[in-house]
Copies of this chain bind each other. A is one copy, B any other.
């Protein structure tokens, strides 16, 4: 199977029509490498690959991929959106000083006790963000 067909299929399974731009973005983001991207950094990657996708579509695609579970939104500040290509269950270190986000392997955080969700609700996800700072600051 060609890479293009592979990602087209992946998008179809996610309920997304495999358009040229979505396949291009999937090829860049969903290759298994774990990293964190922004609308801006993704646009740079697209440009570096000799392609062009309009700004609106970059935003739409990031949102749609997230909605479809192909990406995960990481919440550490309010300046701009961050997306994680690793959708497995894991947590993050965040250093505000340098706006640096680092993955924490799943097993390194153990939640021994969780509260029950409020009545009529169920737990969808548990996000742990450990804020760190350099020692001499």
Binary contact readout A100-137 vs B (1 if CB under 8 angstroms, 0 otherwise): 00101100111111110110111111111111111100
- Of A3-11, A42-50, A74-82, the one contacting chain B is A74-82
Query: Chain A interface secondary structure, helix, strand, loop or mixed?
Result: strand
Tell me how many chains of this kind the complex includes. 2
Interface size class of A (residues with CB under 8 A): 35 or more
A117 to B104, CA, bound (A): 10
Q: List residues of A (63-110) whose CB comes within 8 Å of B's CBs.
A: 75-78, 80-81, 93, 95, 102, 104-105, 108-110
Given contacts A111-B111, A113-B108, contact A135 B118 (CB under 8 A): no
Contacts of A110 in B (CB 8 A): 111-113
Contacts of A127 in B (CB 8 A): 127-131
Q: In the complex, how many angstroms separate the beta carbon of A129 from the nearest chain B beta carbon?
A: 5
Q: Which residue of B lies closest to A116 (CB)?
A: B108
A15 to B23, CA, bound (A): 53
Task: Supply 11 A–B pairs (Cβ within 8 Å), ascending by A.
Answer: A78-B80, A95-B121, A105-B115, A108-B113, A121-B132, A121-B133, A121-B134, A125-B131, A126-B129, A127-B131, A128-B128
